[in-house]
Amino acid sequence: MAKVVYTAEANVQGGRAEGHGKSTDGQLDVTLRLPEEMGGDGGGTNPEQLFAVGYAACFEGALGAVGRREKIELDDASIDSKVSLITTEERGFNVAVELDVTLPSIDDADEAARLVAAAHQVCPYSNATRGNIEVKLTANGKAVD
């Protein structure tokens, strides 16, 4: 049986269009609104933005774990994330993710790509979504396979 390391708890009322979300510890408190691009008024955040921040933060943590294992300093990592809401052939919805990782301390593009690929195997978000959504990775501008 897996060991629980941490459990986040939150409550949402009103959904993505006109809702409110709050973590039980009070550290996250957000107004949820549809973005203008989806016909909403904007003026709040949406699940895709929250997922983009969460995935990027989690991935940076995975990079740190890989760096520590390999004794490589990666504290200067930066991640630009995009999460797109997309339609499916079954008339449902899914998300697609792009993570553009910059590792200023790694000069070799192949080495940067290798480290990002390794982090993709460690990251809980990557593991949770693997095979379910499209995830495109780049490392220092190079596509990661």
Give the tens place of pLDDT for each residue, 59-72. Answer: 999 999 999 999 99
Question: Which residue's entry shows tokens 């990592």?
Answer: 77
One domain, residues 30 and 51? no
Give the pLDDT confidence score for residue 12 in this predicted structure: 97
- Cα(15)–Cα(6) distance, rounded to whole angstroms? 25
One domain, residues 25 and 72? no
One domain, residues 58 and 33? no
Give the pLDDT confidence score for residue 1 in this predicted structure: 81
Instruction: Output the domain CATH number for residue 6.
Output: 2.20.25.10
One domain, residues 54 and 115? yes
Supply the range of the domain harboring residue 118: 47-144
Give the pLDDT confidence score for residue 115 in this predicted structure: 98
The helix/strand/coil state of 78 is strand
- The rounded percent of the chain whose pLDDT value lies above 90 is 98
Q: Are strands 134-139 and 93-102 parallel, antiparallel or unpaired?
A: parallel
Query: How is residue 3 annotated by DSSP?
Result: P
One domain, residues 26 and 76? no
